[in-house]
Amino acid sequence: MRTKVKVEGLRELEKALRDLGKVTARNVGRRVLTKAAEPIADAGRANAPLGPTGNLKDSYGVGTKLTRRQSKLNRKQSPVEVYAGPNDPAAVQTEFGNEHQAAKPHLRPAWDANKDRSLDIIKTGLVTEIEKATARAQRKAEREARKLGG
C-alpha cells in the first residue's frame, strides 16, 4: 500500500536544491528524509506487539534499501526514497491480520500520529541542510581559489 503526500509552497527550496547539484541534493534529501522517518519508526516500534520472540519490535528501522523481493514490487518514484518500518516478514500478518489471527496495527497508527511532525521536520530540515551544503560549497570554492591564486 502506497501513500502519497503532496506538499505545496516549497518552490524556493526546490530551486535551491537544484542549484546544489545532483549528488549534493540527493545527499541532502536522504539526510532530511531519514531524520523525518525516525519518529514514525520509533512510534511503530512502541506500538508493535511484543509477540513470542520480540523480533517485530527489534526489526523496526529507517533506511534507503529494500529487500530484493520488495525492490521488485516497488517502482522507484523519486531520486531519493527512504523507508520506515519493520523488516520482519510476520509484520504484514500482524498489521493486517489473517484468518488465524486478528489484526494488530502498529505501523499505520504510527504514520497517522506522526505524519505532520515528519512533514515539519522535512520543511525545517531542508532549509537547514541546504544552508549547510551551500556554506560547504562556498568554503570549498574559497579553498580552490586560494590554491589557484597563491
Instruction: Report, as an integer, the average pLDDT of 83-111.
Output: 90
pLDDT attached to residue 1: 59
In the predicted structure, residue 118 carries a pLDDT above the cut 90: yes
Render pLDDT for 28-71 as a digit per residue (tens, 0 to 9).
999 999 999 999 999 999 998 876 667 888 889 999 988 888 88
What per-residue string of b and e applies to 43-58 under the rule 16 or more CB within 10 Å gives b? Answer: bbbebbeeeeeebbbe
For residue 21, pLDDT beyond 70 = yes
Number of Cβ within 10 Å of residue 35's Cβ equals 18
Instruction: Tell me which H or E stretch contains 85.
Output: strand 83-86
The confidence score (pLDDT) of residue 88 equals 83
Q: Do residues 103 and 97 touch, judged by C-beta distance below 8 A?
A: yes
